[in-house]
Amino acid sequence: MPEKILIVEDEPTLQDTLAYNLQRAGYEVRLTGNGLEGLELAASFQPNLIVLDVMLPGLDGFEFCRRLRQHSTVPIIMLTARSDEVDRVVGLEVGADDYLTKPFSMRELLARVKAQLRRAEMFREELRKAQGDASPETVLRFGDLEIDESRHEARLGGEPLALKPQEYRLLNFFARHPRQMLSRERILEEVWGWNFIGDSRTVDVHVRWLRQRIEPDPSKPQRIITVRGEGYRFEG
């Protein structure tokens, strides 16, 4: 069964190019240029991945992401019109997994698609394993902070933390490597699956969000320590 990709992009030329290249790479493709129709297709077509433009009629890409993320963890690659820090950060905040700035090469897009699909598959496998093994060892404890791998949930003082999927993955990765120096490149590779390009500021943005959730005083972090010029260390 080929993996299914939904393209939500209103620019006809880019639509055609995306569809042609993704089909040629062996994916089953559906297309729409409208955000609202895209949400309906996401439900009926059940894609393995979504390529999503930001500026769309009907519903913009950010709102699309926000609504879809309420019930779905399907990987989303966002297409932004300019290399705008705000678009990028908002995109990640609303739950996009990766982003590409127009114009981009089809080769780069295909590499990102492959990386995201591979990461999603690894994630499903971990989840299957965790569910098959409901032993108490799947809860990692650091004082009042608990990472419950079988439920994909983190708790602070017994209260579940409302983490986005990517924040949870990052915290889980830290928790699995306590007191180790972790470079931004390694974190990107293991948590985001970006082993070919990598924008390390993405890691910094997510660390900042995570600190706001788990640090008593995010301006003086005690759990996630910045190692100047090197990366981060999780002290739990």
Binding site for Ca ion (CB under 5 A): 10, 53, 55
Residues 6+ apart with CB under 8 A from 43: none
Q: Compute the least distance from the CB of residue 90 to Ca ion, in Å.
A: 16
- CB of residue 53 to Ca ion, shortest distance in Å: 4
Report the distance separating Cα 171 and Cα 5, nearest Å: 28
Contact predicate 88/60, CB 8 Å: no
- By C-beta, is 83 or 222 nearer to Ca ion? 83
Q: Which sign does the torsion angle of CA 168, 173, 176, 178 carry?
A: negative
Indicate the residue type of 150: S
Min separation Cβ 199 and Ca ion, Å: 22
171: helix, coil or strand?
Answer: helix
Q: Give the DSSP H or E segment for 58.
A: none
Residue (9 or 146) nearer to Ca ion, CB: 9
DSSP assignment of 80-144, as one string?
ESS--HHHHHHHHHTT-SEEEESS--HHHHHHHHHHHHHHHHHHHHHHHHHHH---GGGEEEETT
Residue nearest to Ca ion (CB): 55
Kindly state the smallest distance separating residue 32's Cβ from Ca ion, in Å: 12
Cβ proximity to Ca ion, 55 vs 89, nearer residue: 55
Quick one: how far is CA 150 from the chain centroid? 19
Complex with Ca ion: residue 55 or 225, whichever CB lies closer = 55
Between 88 and 211, name the residue whose CB sits nearer to Ca ion: 88
Nearest distance, CB of residue 9 and Ca ion, angstroms: 6
Min CB(111)–Ca ion separation in Å: 22
Q: Which residue, 22 or 182, has its beta carbon nearer to Ca ion?
A: 22
